[in-house]
Amino acid sequence: MSKKPLILVTNDDGINAPGIRTLIGIMNSIGDVVVVAPDSPQSGMGHAITVDATLYVNKVQVDDGPQKEYRCSGTPADCVKLAIRELLDRKPDICVSGINHGSNSSINVIYSGTMSAAVEAGIEGIPSIGFSLLDYSWDANFEASKSFVKRITEEVLENKPDTGIILNVNIPNLPKDDIKGIKVCRQGKGNWVEEFDKRTNPMGKDYYWLSGKFVDLDNGDDTDTNALENGYISVVPVQFDLTAYKTLETIKTWNFK
């Protein structure tokens, strides 16, 4: 039996995206790689799962390499569930998701399919990391990311974060020499100010396209947004207990009787 770590690789941009192809290449240098990824882009899917439709899985080989690959008709979270329950013969040592084409820093984490896959693995007690590069384009350049992604993955394999902790890693879109290092930070406060672009279709019916811009609402110097702006890679430890503990006691004093 191989002593190399078993690495589950997934993403939300789809199995053919340059980001996941880069990630697979890096992971092949660390361990035994099994890829289970969506067959088409799933961006903005949040933590969706397929509860009312069938899931198809196909064994494929997208490019050369020792990795085993499956493409799946479901969401990123579906991919992780299927991998663990059906496709892998043992629990993976780590799950890596990405590299996403575009930021998942600040509030973006809650809309992120990349992070939902990583969180799903975290729920299963598997150390996991979501990687994102701050370039939304399909032909984003992942060269500068490679050594950092490898280093962070090896560090997680060695240190094993507490159960249920997932790392949200965002990488600035800079040449390697301009990346200043890696910063562990908190999720910055921010929000999207949407502008719905209202149009009329050829049948005379109105419809909308969602667009908008991100607004940073946090001037702390310990946030992911701040780290990225200053040329650092941000690492935010994330958890899935959403309880607002600070508010619990206040709300207990309300009069619900």
Residues within window 81-110 making contact with a copy of itself, judged by CB under 8 A: 81-82, 85-86, 107, 109-110
Structure-block tokens of residue 139: 């032909």
* Helix (H) / strand (E) containing 225: helix 224-229
Burial 26-43 (b: 16+ CB within 10 A, else e): bbeebbbbbbbbbbebbb
Residue closer to a copy of itself by CB (options 63, 125) is 125
Residue closer to a copy of itself by CB (options 63, 195) is 195
Instruction: Output the CA angle 165-170-173, nearest 5 degrees.
Output: 170
CB of 143 to a copy of itself, least distance (A): 19
Structure-block tokens of residue 101: 């084409």
* 64 marked as part of a ligand binding site: no
DSSP lists the bridge partners of residue 178 as none
CB of 1 to a copy of itself, least distance (A): 25
d(CA 170, CA 154): 17
Measured in whole angstroms, the distance separating CA 242 from the mean position of its chain's CA atoms is 18
d(CA 138, CA 231): 22
Q: Decide if residue 17 touches a copy of itself (CB under 8 A).
A: no
DSSP helix/strand/coil, 125: coil
Applying CB under 8 A, among 88, 123, 157, 174 the residue interacting with a copy of itself is 123
Pick the stretch among 29-37, 61-69, 90-98, 182-190 that binds a copy of itself (CB under 8 A): 182-190
> Which 197-226 residues touch a copy of itself, going by CB under 8 A?
198-199, 201, 205-210
Q: Binding marks (x or -) toward a copy of itself, 141..160, rule CB under 8 A? A: ----------xx--x---x-
Structure-block tokens of residue 152: 């962070």
Pick the stretch among 26-34, 55-63, 126-134, 137-145 that binds a copy of itself (CB under 8 A): 55-63
Point out the annotated binding site for a divalent metal cation.
Answer: 12-13, 43, 100
